[in-house]
Structure formats: C-alpha cells, structure tokens
Structure 1
Amino acid sequence: MNRQRDGLEKFYSIIPAGGIGSRLWPLSRADAPKFLHDLTGSGSTLLRATWDRLAPISGPDRIMVVTGRAHRAAVEAQLPALADANVVLESEPKDSSAAIGLAAAILEHREPGVIVGSFAADHVIGDRRGFRRAVLEAVAAAEDGFIATIGITPTEPAIGFGYVHCAEPLAIDRAPSAVRADRFVEKPDAETAAAYLADGRYLWNGGMFIAKASMLLEQLGESRPELLAGILELARVWDTPERGAVVDRVWPTLEKIAIDYTVAEPAAAAGRLAVIPGDFDWDDVGDFAAIAKLHARGRKSDLAILGENARVLADSSSGVVVSQTGRLISLIGVTDIVVVDTEDALLVTTSANAQRVKAVVDALKLSGRDDVL
C-alpha cells in the first residue's frame, strides 16, 4: 500500500465502539455489546472485522478507537495492535457527536490538517475493495473542503435505515462519483421506502463521515457551540497529566446527541456535504432479522444457527437461533422464527417483529431489571 500515492498520508480512521445494540438483546448486553460478538459466523467479532477493513487503508498505527471504560480490556484483547495513545475512553455514553468530535479534536491537536474518517464498529461489509474505493473518493472530497459521507446503494425498500437524498454531481478530482447531498430523512414507512427505491436518488445512510478534522469541528461548533467548547477543552489536556481531572469535570456536562443532527444534517443544508455512492454490500446488523438475512445469503439452509455449542434440531423451519447455553433447541414447522437462548434470559419472536425487541429492553429498564441488561 502506498498511502502517499493514494492521497491517504493525512488520513486517520476513528472507530466509535459504543452502544449496546438493544434490538439484539439478550445476546447484546451492557457488558458484552454488539460489536464484541461474531454475528456473521466468520470467526471475527464485528469490531475486529472493522479493524481489519481499515488497517490496510489508514495503517494500523493510524486508527483511534473510542469506547467505554468498561470495555477497554475486551477492545484491547481484540485489537492487540491498537496503540495505547489511540484509545479514547468514555466515562459514560454521550452518543456520537461527543465521541467522534473528541477523537477529531485530539487528532487535530496532535496533527494539524489531519483528515478523519469515522466508521462504526458494528457494521458488516464484505467487499473490501469496493469499500476502499469509496473511502479514497471520500478523502478526496474532504481535501476539497467538503464533509463527505458514504451512502449505500439500496437493494430493497428497507425501513430500518435512514436515507440521504442526492442532488447534483460534484466535479471533484479523484472523486468522480461524488454528488451533493442536500438532506437526510429518518427511517421511512414501507410505502415511502418503496418510493425512495423507485426514485433512484436516495441512498441508505451508512453513518460513515470523512472530513478534515478542522472542518468537522467547525460545523459542530456552528450548531452546538457549548458542546464544541467542552470537546476542545478536553482535547487540549488529553496528552497531559491534567486529563483525568478535566475529563471527570467536563465529560458529564457534554450534550448527548448524534452526529447526524450536529454535523451531517446542517452540512447538507449548507451545501457542504458530499456523498459517495457505495455499491458494496453493507448491513448495520440492527436486529435479528438482519442476522437471518446475512446468513441466508449464499447458503442453502433457511435457518441460521449461531453459538459455539449450539444444539439445534429443526424440521421445516426457518429464521435464526442464537444459543449460548448448549441446551437442545427443537424447532418444528415454524417460519422466520427468532430464538435467543442465554443463561439468564430467553427471547422468542419472529423476524417481522425483530425491531420491537428494543421495547422489551425499555420495559426492563423501567421495571428496574438491570440484572439482565
């Protein structure tokens, strides 16, 4: 790999590794979140697969991971090449604006002019060449002064993803497929999603953002000046002995809000957002229906089975079974079933209702049943 030839000499990858993945309960928990699981049957956790995808692009020494303090040991065990200086620990979850903003500010403080790319720790991408091509174009767009995102070419009228609307093409050197993104839309209903797919100008919002760190922070400051002020205060002391005291004082005061609302949407409204269409396979594995779909691709079996010691007998059944207990599970004549069997909780639902699992988690929180969360 020649990073200078590819225009990557200023590029740094950021992996935000946070969020519980509540729609994957009871598999995904606060102490064992989604990104620490192998949901594809590949033998690699989602976090490790993300690292392996990014290391050939930015170099393993130029990847920063933002995660919770409780997950530090597990993350470092998964990523032994991760430099200690590139581990950013959150004392409590503050969503993606604070996580990505702080990483960008630390890197800009260390290396003025750096270009950063944020890539979630829990997405599944099989086509590494296609992914690399899109990242190279996004970096070129960032060099040209845009905040760039990689939008995923839709393959179906999905209702579980947000969408980005594409406007006119942008004439950017080394980014021939770049177009201006003029707005984001939230997860649609089925009829609206079908209209988006037929329109052809809508891409799935893959949550990947690439920009000069200074530009990302400037945009964040325009929409949330207090949040930016806190982030910059943290970044100034991050590599000094003052870090601990300042983190304990400042981090709890930061607003909890997604970067879509503080950076992406305002940038689109201001004409500063470029989108690179990504034609590679992609999934955010948002629920158990997505897992079933992933395992159905290229396989003859209609039933996906996950778990090292899973014992499943199935007759005329389809869906997904996740087992962590070694208990025998028998399925007879059930279609699109979801069974998740753990030591202290059992989930049984269907693929059609997989998005509703989050409501169970919310109900458990309200009832104070934190022991199973």
Structure 2
Amino acid sequence: MITALIMAGGEGTRFWPLSRSHRPKQFLKLTDDQQTMLQATVERISELIPLEQVFIATNKAYQRPIEKQLKGIPAENIIVEPVKRDTAACIGLSALIIDRKYPGSTMIVLPADHLIEEKDNFLNILKKAVMVAATGCNLVTLGINPTHPETGYGYIHYGELTHRIDGDEVYQVEAFTEKPDIIKARKFLEEGTYLWNSGMFVWQVRSILDNIELYMPELSASLGRIGQALGTDLAEKVICDEFEDLIGISIDYGIMEKADNIFVIPGSFGWDDLGSWPALERVKKLDDNGNVIVGKHYGIDTLDSIIHSPDKVVTTIGVKNIVIVDTEDAILICDKNRAQEVKEIRQILEDNGMEECL
C-alpha cells in the first residue's frame, strides 16, 4: 500500500504580488500548462497512487479552494492544520491520520508547488525509493544533481554507495546543510558529493512516527493525545489545543539531521522548485531579447527581464535584468538578482499595516 501526502499550506511569498495569502503559489498556473501547480502534482503521481490514497495537508483558509481544484480527493483526506507549525508537525499529524486509514502503508511526501518535467523518470525514482523505504525503518529522500552553485537550496551530503536498483544508485546520507553562501555552494559543486535537497521523502508511516518518538518526544506526546481523540467529537478541539503549544520545527532539523538510517537517491527528472520570479526563465519561452513576457509589453532596448502584466500595457526603455509584476492592486519592480528579497518586502508591508496587499 502506497499513500501520498502533498503539503499545500505555504504562501509562496517570493512570488508576491501574484501570489497572495488567499491565492498562494500552489494555486497559480506558473508554467504554460493549464493546470495549477497543485493539480499538476496530483496528476503526476496518479499512475502510481489512486486519488483515494492521496492526502493533502493545508490550513483552513485553503481547504475550500483545494476541494474545488481536486474533485476526486475524499474530503477526509484533506488534513487541516489549525496553525502553522512547520513540516515536522504537519508530517507527524498526517502520518497519524494516514496510519489510521491505511495502516502499514508507505508514505510519499511531496511539496505541492514544484515543477517536474520528466514524469516517467520521476515515477521510476519514486518506485525505487519505496523499495528502499520498505526495508527496516529506512528514511529515504530524493536528491537533485546540482547544475550550478545555487544558494537558494539546501544540500544533502552523501557518503557510501549502499546498493544499486536497476542502475540507480542509493547512498547513505552523511549530513544536511541549510542554504549556503556562494563560496560554500561552489565548494559543494566541486566536491561532487552534494545534492540539492528537494524536500521529497519516502518512508513507512510507522517508521516516521517511531523516529518522531525517538528524536522529538514532545511532538510525539502531542500526537499520542491527538491519536486518542481521532474518530471522536473532540478530535478537532484536541488538534487545535495541541498545535497551539507546539514549537515550529522542520522535518529536516527535527528528524533528518539526527537519524542515522537515511538514504538518498539522486535524480535527474527536470526538477525546479520555482522559488522566485527568475525561475520563470527556466520554464517559459524567452523572446529574442531574453525576456519572459506574460501579457502586454512593448519595449526598446529591454533585455533579460521578466514582465508579468496580463491586464495592463507595460512599456520599458533601456532596462536590463529587472522584474516587473503588475496585479490589480500592487506593482513589483526589482533587480532580477535581488528577487529573493520579495519575501522581505511582504514583511515591510505587514509591518506598515498593508495586510490588504498580502
């Protein structure tokens, strides 16, 4: 039995102002595909996992949009977190609920807003990850072969080659590293034993719950109390009460950096996390001047820029390497090389009482 958990609670802050608190990145159509990122994620795994075995973790504000976008997902498979407490709590609660419905299943954990261009290769790697996870209490992650010294991703340092499955290599994980500076990123690329951390995991449901008990006893205790309430009228209240007192910790920090039974399978399947506006250059067609244009634009000497304006005409003269995004109530103009700082602009807006723009 294989189940899937798709994490769809993030706000996609670096795609502001197109991405908003009520319309996060996973609900957008950022590629030339007519599907939203969330719909594409579910469709991508449909050959491997039927819809009744797919679970979506999100928050209350996104529950209704998800129900509209994913008609075939059973209502009880939409897991609502009362407050955000990062991925460890999200995965722990979801594993508890999945184990109740499909005991003994192997659980694939996927973000809702990543691009995968080569579906067949991706599913092939997932199947092999399931095989590795079925042995003992193995925790498996998918690593991406790096193509350049990227500072926006976490890295996985791998060690011993443990075995091969039909040509694909499985390595013991030595360590996880958070987003490095450019000097470290270059060093990782040169050493050749580092992979980008995709945030995709495979494990048996009981394995991750056992590891939470071992390395995160407070979260495990909360999950124990929630487990006793599941199936009763008190379940929603108990989940709210327990989450209120939890500290937000990522699954990487809470479990993956501590456990010693972690394995990684390197993959090359056209992966991109579409983390910020410049990522559109990798998934959309460029014009003759290296620009990504969505909507209406006329320019003179406009080079290597991203211009997103479906409703208004944008004109530019003598600009290079900029991002312009026009929406109904906000405009973003920034140096393309500083697009990661869009997240900080959102914080400035919040600090100045501009919540209506978030």
**Fold equivalence (TM over 0.5):** yes
Specify the alignment match of 2:197 in structure 1: 205
In the alignment, is residue 366 of structure 1 matched against residue 355 of structure 2?
Answer: no
Specify the alignment match of 1:33 in structure 2: 24
Q: Deviations over 1:46-73 (max 9, x none)?
A: 1011011111111222100011111111
**Secondary structure of 1:229's aligned partner:** helix
- Equivalent of 2:305 in 314, 319, 330: 319
- Equivalent of 2:334 in 344, 349, 360: 349
Q: Shift of the alpha carbon at 1:174?
A: 6.7
Q: Which region of structure 1 is more displaced relative to structure 2, 37-46 or 361-370?
A: 361-370
Q: Shift of the alpha carbon at 1:175?
A: 8.3
Q: Shift of the alpha carbon at 1:248?
A: 2.8
Counterpart of 2:187 in structure 1: which amino acid?
A
- Matches of 2:50 and 2:299, distance apart in 1: 45
Q: Shift of the alpha carbon at 1:176?
A: 4.5
- Matches of 2:317 and 2:298, distance apart in 1: 8
In the alignment, is residue 20 of structure 1 matched against residue 20 of structure 2?
Answer: no
- Equivalent of 1:288 in 277, 294, 317: 277
Q: Deviations over 1:202-260 (max 9, x none)?
A: 10000001101111111122222111221232234333332222223222122211111
- Matches of 2:268 and 2:6, distance apart in 1: 21
Q: Deviations over 1:13-42 (max 9, x none)?
A: 100101111111111111111111011121
8 Å CA contact 1:141, 1:175 repeated in 2: no
Specify the alignment match of 1:94 in structure 2: 85
- 1:128-277 superposed matches below 5 A: 128-145=119-136, 146-171=138-163, 176-267=168-259, 270=260, 272-277=261-266
**Secondary structure of 1:187's aligned partner:** coil
In the alignment, is residue 333 of structure 1 matched against residue 318 of structure 2?
Answer: yes
Q: Deviations over 1:137-175 (max 9, x none)?
A: 111110112100000011111111110011011137678
Specify the alignment match of 2:99 in structure 1: 108
Counterpart of 1:250 in structure 2: which amino acid?
E
- Matches of 2:356 and 2:90, distance apart in 1: 27
- Equivalent of 1:66 in 57, 61, 66: 57
8 Å CA contact 2:144, 2:271 repeated in 1: yes
Q: TM-score, normalised by structure 2?
A: 0.94
Larger strand proportion of the pair: 2
- Matches of 2:214 and 2:24, distance apart in 1: 33
- Matches of 1:328 and 1:176, distance apart in 2: 49
Counterpart of 2:77 in structure 1: which amino acid?
N
**Secondary structure of 2:202's aligned partner:** strand
Q: Shift of the alpha carbon at 1:301?
A: 6.1
The alignment's C-alpha RMSD in Å is 1.8
**Secondary structure of 1:151's aligned partner:** strand
- Matches of 2:267 and 2:165, distance apart in 1: 18
Q: Shift of the alpha carbon at 1:368?
A: 2.7
C-alpha change, 1:172 and 1:143, in structure 2 (3 Å) is farther
8 Å CA contact 1:138, 1:175 repeated in 2: no
**Secondary structure of 2:148's aligned partner:** coil
**Secondary structure of 2:258's aligned partner:** helix
**Secondary structure of 1:316's aligned partner:** strand
Structure 1: where are the runs of 5+ without partners?
Answer: 1-9
C-alpha change, 1:214 and 1:340, in structure 2 (3 Å) is same
8 Å CA contact 2:9, 2:62 repeated in 1: no
**Secondary structure of 1:55's aligned partner:** coil
8 Å CA contact 1:140, 1:172 repeated in 2: no
